[in-house]
């Protein structure tokens, strides 16, 4: 049974694309056949984060408009042969496709893949409607900030109204030092406000910035906290019961210990 998962947030810059890239990479590591779809037409990013920008020939709009076959537009990942990307078009805008066309597209991909991940654009307009049209479930990404949580709340309401039954929360960019000082909302504070089930928490990790700049997602790299957190999320998507990562371990200490193993 294949599943179509939309990664959304409402607010921009909270980590939708990073989450899509890492969850997709993680699921591929767990031997699932995965395709990532960048639905942010006109502002494509996912290809950059995946390090696949130079391979784009055809894109999502080309497929929808029938300029090419699906197979021609899908880009195989550098690292994992069971991971694919359907890039977005950069020279068009959100009106280039309709929710009906997106549903048709995801249905076609269901036959081939275990997981179809949709990277949703920020906002609640056409791009959002396109992205959620074919989705079975949703991952809502938020940061522990009031503005991001307001938007997440709005998004959850819209997802519920569109009868997406399974909605899970990812709290991104947590800084445990700030939480313990009482300067940042904790995971519990966020889930209490949004009242949906948590599927994972990802610490604020400078390794993410490095990995994005290199075009190498770090899911599964257990020498990084974020990489560990993402692979845990992937296990939970598969239905496994994995305890929440203890984010309280000092970042520097963690990487030092992990670094020792890496050298060998």
Partner 1 sequence: MSQKVILKSNKYGINLILDPEIPFEELLSAVAGKFQEADSFFKGARMALSFEGRKLSAWEEQQIVETISRNSDVVIVCIVENDVIREQILKGLMEEPAEDALSIGQFYKGTLRSGQLLECERSIIILGDVNPGAKIVSRGNVVVLGALKGNAYAGAGGDNQAFIAALDMDPVQLKIGDVIGRSADKALWSGSKKKKKTEPVVDPQVAVVKDDNIYIEPITKGLLNHL
Q: Which is nearer to partner 1, 124 or 249 (CB)?
A: 124
Min dist. Cβ of residue 20 to partner 1 (A): 23
Q: Which is nearer to partner 1, 57 or 146 (CB)?
A: 146
Pick from 71, 107, 108, 146 the residue near partner 1 by CB under 8 A.
146
Q: Is 14 helix (H, G, I), strand (E, B) or coil?
A: coil
Cβ neighbours for 37, distance < 8 A, ≥ 6 positions apart = 60, 85, 86, 105, 106, 109, 116, 117, 118, 119
Residue of 2, 7, 1 lying closest to 164 (CA atoms):
7
Burial 26-46 (b: 16+ CB within 10 A, else e): bbbbbebbbbbbbbbbbebbb
Q: Does 201 bind partner 1 (CB under 8 A)?
A: no
Min dist. Cβ of residue 229 to partner 1 (A): 22
**Looking at 33-190, which runs of residues are DSSP E strands?**
34-38, 75-76, 83-86, 115-119, 137-142, 166-174
Min dist. Cβ of residue 147 to partner 1 (A): 9
**Which segment (37-45, 54-62, 148-156, 251-259) binds partner 1 by CB under 8 A?**
148-156
Q: Does 189 bind partner 1 (CB under 8 A)?
A: yes
Residues 149-178 that bind partner 1 (CB under 8 A): 150-151, 153-154, 156-158, 160
Q: Does 185 bind partner 1 (CB under 8 A)?
A: yes
> How many other CB atoms are there within 10 angstroms of residue 125's CB atom?
11
Q: Residues interacting with partner 1, by CB under 8 A?
A: 146, 150-151, 153-154, 156-158, 160, 182, 185-186, 188-189, 193, 195
């Amino acid at each position: 049974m294949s599943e179509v998962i939309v990664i959304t947030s409402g607010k921009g810059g909270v980590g939708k694309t990073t989450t899509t890239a890492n969850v997709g990479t993680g699921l591929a590591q767990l031997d699932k056949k995965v395709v990532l779809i960048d639905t942010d037409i006109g502002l494509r990013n996912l290809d950059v984060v995946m390090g696949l920008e130079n391979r784009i020939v055809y894109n999502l709009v080309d497929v929808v408009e029938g300029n090419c076959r699906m197979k021609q537009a899908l880009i195989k990942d550098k690292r994992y042969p069971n991971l694919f990307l359907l890039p977005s078009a950069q020279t068009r805008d959100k009106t280039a496709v309709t929710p009906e066309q997106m549903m048709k597209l995801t249905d076609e991909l269901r036959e081939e893949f275990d997981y179809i991940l949709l990277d949703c654009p920020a906002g609640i307009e056409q791009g959002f409607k396109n992205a959620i049209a074919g989705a079975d479930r949703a991952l809502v990404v938020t940061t522990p900030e009031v503005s991001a949580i307001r938007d997440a709340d709005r998004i959850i309401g819209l997802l519920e109204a569109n009868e997406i039954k399974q909605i899970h929360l990812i709290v991104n960019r947590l800084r445990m030092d700030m939480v313990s000082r009482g300067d940042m909302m904790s995971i519990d504070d966020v889930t209490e406000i949004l009242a949906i089930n948590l599927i994972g928490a990802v610490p604020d990790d400078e390794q993410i910035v490095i990995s994005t700049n290199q075009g190498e997602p770090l899911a599964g790299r257990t020498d990084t906290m974020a990489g560990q957190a993402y692979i845990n999320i992937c296990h939970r998507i598969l239905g496994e019961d994995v305890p929440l990562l203890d984010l309280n371990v000092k970042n520097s200490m963690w990487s030092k210990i992990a670094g020792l193993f890496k050298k060998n």
